[in-house]
Amino acid sequence: MAEPKWLKDLKEEDYLKEDFDATGKSRYTVDGIDKNDPDWLDKAAKKVNAAEGDDYVKLDAGLLTVNQINWMLRRAFGELTYVDDNNQFLWYNKPTDPNKKMLAGRTPDQVGDTMGAVHPDIRNVIPEAKKVIYALRNKVGGHDEVKMPVPNGNRHKLILHDYKRIEDEEGNYVGTYEWVQDIYPFVKYFCETTGQKLVDDPDATTGATYKRDTIDTATGASKHEEPVEEKKEARPDTNSGASEY
């Protein structure tokens, strides 16, 4: 994955101290159960008498049942995971289709695992994961989010990992929320509905840029204009209120 420069500059002696064996304790840690037990979820839920099924959950801006929350999160765009401040993997949005291949594969028996167990130490995965967690835990440079694209040379597969620092009401770090998805379907839909195109540009550092189609009002056909710089400021369409690029 492509790291932002500020993340690359972190010192190994700092971020490698992240405890991926989760030997500490969060205020929400469920004691007395092996974190890497494949049945951790059922055992922990039973121990704390967790709400389930049609039990209601009062949220800060809503009242939903556990079932409703599950159904909604399964339909969320992207793969979501949550790791607490003790580096214990606690949740992911299980796909509705059990046969769907995930970009960052997770299974129900992994819920409750330590980060060390979730990330096998191959291809230097653990040190890189520790770097992200350390950066968000300590809000290095004031950053509370880490965006990491996965370069693959394929314009039709744009994988992005987005990590966010999660805080409580007092601003204390309570975990990391990860969103992983191929954002190409968004880009494709955007281009199709706006008339823009994603084209190769040998002079662009990203390898691609946008080209706008304009509509011939007499025929309805599209005609190409010059490439539009990606960082060009949006200009409001005075008729519709939409932005034109």
Residues 6+ apart with CB under 8 A from 62: none
Give the tens place of pLDDT for each residue, 90-125. Answer: 999 988 777 777 777 788 899 999 999 998 766 678
In the Cβ-directed half-sphere of 21, how many Cα atoms lie within 13 Å? 2
Give the pLDDT score at 125: 85
Which helix or strand (DSSP H or E) is residue 167 part of?
A: strand 159-167
pLDDT of 241 strictly over 60: no
Domain ranges of the chain: 5-182, 195-232
Which helix or strand (DSSP H or E) is residue 12 part of?
A: helix 12-15
Q: Tell me which CATH code domain 5-182 carries.
A: 3.30.450.20
66-74 mean pLDDT: 94
